[in-house]
Amino acid sequence: MLADQQIKNKKKQYQYSIFLGILFFILIAQLFYLQVYKQAIYLKASENNRIRQVILKSTRGLILDRNGEVLVDNHPSYSVYATPFEVQDADTVLRLISRILNIESEEISKIIKEKQAGYFTPVRLKRHIDFSTLSKIEEYKLDLPGISIQNDPKRYYPSGVRAPHLFGYLGELTREEYESRKKQGIKFGEIVGKKGLEMIYDTELRGVNGYRYVEVDVLGREIKRLSDKRELLDVPGQNLHLTIDAGLQKFLESRMDTIRGGAIAVDCETGGILALVSKPDYDPDIFSKPLSEDIWNSLLSDQNKPLYDRMVQSLYPPGSTFKLVLAAAALEKGIITPERTETCVGFYRLGTKTYDCWKKEGHGELDLLGAIEQSCNVYFYTLGLKTGQDIWAEYSKKFLFDKPTGIDLMAENSGLVPDREYLDKKYGKNKWSRGLIANQAIGQGDLLVTPLQMLRFTMILANDGFYHKPHVVNFREDVISNKKEWTEIETKKIPDISEKTYKILKEGMRRVVQGERGTAKGARCSGLEVAGKTGTAENPHGEPHAWFLGFAPFDKPKIALCILIENGGSGGAVAAPLGGDVIRYFFNSIN
Partner 1 sequence: MLSYNKLKISEPDYIFILCVFILLIAGLTAIYSASFQLDKGDMQSNFYRQLTWVAIGLVFMIVVYLVPSRTLYSTAYLFYGISILLLILTLFSNGDGKVSRWLSVAGIQFQPAEIAKIGTLLALARYLAQNRRNLENVKEIGVSFGIVLMPFLLIIKQPDLGTSLVFLAMALPLLYWAGLSAFKIFIITAPILVLFASFNFYSFFLLMIIIASVLFYQKKSLVVSLLLFVINISVGIATPLLWNQLRDYQKHRILTFLGMEIDPYGLSYQVIQSKVAIGSGGFLGKGILNGTQTQLRFLPAQHTDFVFSVIGEELGFLGSFIIICLFFFLLLRGIYIASIIKNRFLSLITIGTVVVLGFHVIVNIGMTIGIMPVTGLPLPLLSYGGSFTIVSLALIGIILHTSARRYV
Applying CB under 8 A, the residues found at the interface with partner 1 are 2, 5-6, 8-10, 12-13, 16-17, 20-21, 23-24, 26-28, 30-32, 34-36, 38-39, 41-43, 45-47, 49, 51, 85, 116-121, 188, 213, 215, 226-227, 230
Q: How far is the CB of 2 from partner 1 (least distance, A)?
A: 7
Phi, psi angle pair for 65, to nearest 5°: -90, -175
Q: Using CA atoms, how far apart are residues 246 and 98, in angstroms rounded to an integer?
A: 43
C-alpha distances in Å from residue 517, one per residue of 369, 371, 525, 561? 11, 10, 16, 22
Question: CA-based Rg of the chain, rounded to a whole angstrom?
Answer: 34
Q: Which is nearer to partner 1, 20 or 300 (CB)?
A: 20
Nearest residue to 368 via CA among 504, 465, 515, 460 = 504
Q: Which is nearer to partner 1, 117 or 291 (CB)?
A: 117
Q: Which is nearer to partner 1, 1 or 142 (CB)?
A: 1
Q: Which is nearer to partner 1, 82 or 242 (CB)?
A: 82
Q: Which is nearer to partner 1, 111 or 350 (CB)?
A: 111
Q: How crowded is residue 405: how many other Cβ atoms within 10 Å of its Cβ?
A: 23
Q: Order of strands across the sheet with 473-477? A: 154-156, 70-75, 63-64, 239-242, 473-477, 484-486
Q: Which is nearer to partner 1, 145 or 388 (CB)?
A: 145
Range 204-214 burial, b when 16+ CB lie within 10 A, else e:
bbbbebebbbb
C-alpha distances in Å from residue 28, one per residue of 16, 156, 578? 18, 62, 88
Q: Using CA atoms, how far apart are residues 538 and 535, in angstroms rounded to an integer?
A: 10
Q: How far is the CB of 49 from partner 1 (least distance, A)?
A: 6
Q: How far is the CB of 90 from partner 1 (least distance, A)?
A: 15
Q: How far is the CB of 125 from partner 1 (least distance, A)?
A: 18
Q: Which is nearer to partner 1, 190 or 245 (CB)?
A: 190
Q: Using CA atoms, how far apart are residues 455 and 264, in angstroms rounded to an integer?
A: 7
Q: How far is the CB of 205 from partner 1 (least distance, A)?
A: 24
240 near 197, Cβ under 8 Å? yes
Q: How far is the CB of 96 from partner 1 (least distance, A)?
A: 24
Q: Using CA atoms, how far apart are residues 232 and 56, in angstroms rounded to an integer?
A: 8
Q: How far is the CB of 317 from partner 1 (least distance, A)?
A: 50
